Structure 1
């Protein structure tokens, strides 16, 4: 009995090391997909997003990248698979015994597979956050671009000192630094996607945040200092936070504090002159030129 067990154990270990990693990866991906579809929070975006320039070509490039990666992985696996197919039938299982080195390799392999499965799970969650953020930025950009018909100049994804500015709107009377934030809602209906802003914090259903306000203020200060250095003129910048898909209360004209928190559909925030003097065309062009300098050179 012990001899039979000694013969079967190495074979079982080899079989497990060959089959289980694939099973773990597949199970992890299926679990993540199920959790994503049945999650307690969902995106508040309900409007259809228009295609960006080159959208079809970009999707085709991403599809080709996936195909190339898949086939590259298959090429890398062909050699080991063929080698195992040729060698395993020739193994004398009765003479195969595991020493301490075999067990060390087996345990290390199992731990490595577990770590890789955990990394896949964390990367999948990170990808979901980036995907939500990307869709939110596109939603904001498509609403802000409509302001160009109202004498506004709009730029997106501008490299700053340590981060990127999601959007900058040069309105008829002021410059706005616009930060888009993506937040998932926990329920259905308008109430689940309503946020309250009191000038010091954004109150979502079930939690409150102040960090986005601090971030918007810091980015607006940086942009103001940068434009002053580039144009030689003091250029105040108004910080704005866009929450696509959210109803924000109170409306911007009744909000307190230096940061405006809005749904990007409320474009009048950027065209309302109030008591601000109108900027002449030459000054606005100098601001746009300074912002264009932040973009990197196109690759050859």
Structure 2
């Protein structure tokens, strides 16, 4: 009995020893870095870049993909080691049913992990596409700073994050990026119809509902926050950005605008002035307090 238990736990103990060594190395390295008399020269937190929340999510999914691959490679060797260890140290006789059970367990574990991995890969793909969309829109919107606008990205709020906020002489805009994939072939494959009456995107190969609840939640929260913080009534105009799409037609009118973010100057700058330079500075200051929260690496945390 004891020999069987001993032989069973030998492969597990070896695996745990390997994990322990890695944890110990990481801990020693961290302690060594903490004892050094140098740290990051940056003394304040950084601004959130475009797609910052999605970048964190993609990083987590990358770690999960790597861990899944390790498990898929490790489990067959672990089960085989367990099988051999029981035979060699535990005097468990070899038999066809025992071998078949080991194979079934191995294949079942690999199949489960493989299925789970496909789900994670699909989620990573969608998040990576969304990240690139927010980065592209952010790069285009950043050009507005040459014309007196202030641009902020990935603003956290109670229900998630607002992709972009522009503070312009013509007003304050909340911009939500929607990265929608195109069909590879077909006439008008890059054209979209915006139906405000039905609140849908009409793409060449499908229709998708426009989430106006999300736009209204972002607009309402941001307007209330800035109004209470600045002390003046701040109206916010919600915008939907569709990078890479040509807006062929608009049906009806809505409380939001849908734009292709390429060359956004005419939309955000060339309008009637609503905010004074002082008001722009006040609003921008409040938004900066929300966005400046990315801590520099290798900097000792404040006590």
* TM beyond 0.5: yes
For the pair 1:269 / 2:267, whether they are aligned, the reply is: yes
Deviation at 1:116, TM superposition (A): 0.9
Question: What is the alpha-carbon distance in structure 2 between the residues aligned to residue 87 and residue 177 of structure 1?
Answer: 62
SS in 1 for 2:240: strand
RMSD of equivalent CA atoms: 3.9
Aligned positions of 1:137-176 closer than 5 A: 137-176=134-173
Deviation at 1:128, TM superposition (A): 0.6
* 1:284 corresponding residue in structure 2: 280
* 1:10 corresponding residue in structure 2: none
SS in 1 for 2:155: strand
Deviation at 1:281, TM superposition (A): 1.4
Deviations 1:154-192 (A, max 9, x none): 111111112111100111121000011111111337710
* 1:220 corresponding residue in structure 2: 219
Deviations 1:32-62 (A, max 9, x none): xxxxxxxxxxxxxxxxxxxx99xxxx9xxx8
Gaps spanning 5+ residues in structure 1: where?
1-51
Question: What is the alpha-carbon distance in structure 2 between the residues aligned to residue 157 and residue 245 of structure 1?
Answer: 20
Report how many aligned residue pairs link the two structures. Answer: 231
More RCO (CA 8 Å, sep 6+): 2
Aligned positions of 1:58-69 closer than 5 A: none
SS in 1 for 2:188: helix
Gaps spanning 5+ residues in structure 2: where?
1-48, 296-300
Note if contact 2:201-2:210 (Cα within 8 Å) is conserved in structure 1: no
| Regions of 4+ moved over 6 Å | 91-94, 101-105
For the pair 1:201 / 2:200, whether they are aligned, the reply is: yes
Aligned positions of 1:71-220 closer than 5 A: 95-97=93-95, 107-188=104-185, 191-199=188-196, 200-220=199-219
Deviation at 1:149, TM superposition (A): 1.1
* 1:243 corresponding residue in structure 2: 242
Question: What is the alpha-carbon distance in structure 1 between the residues aligned to residue 121 and residue 186 of structure 2?
Answer: 28
**Structure with the larger strand share:** 2
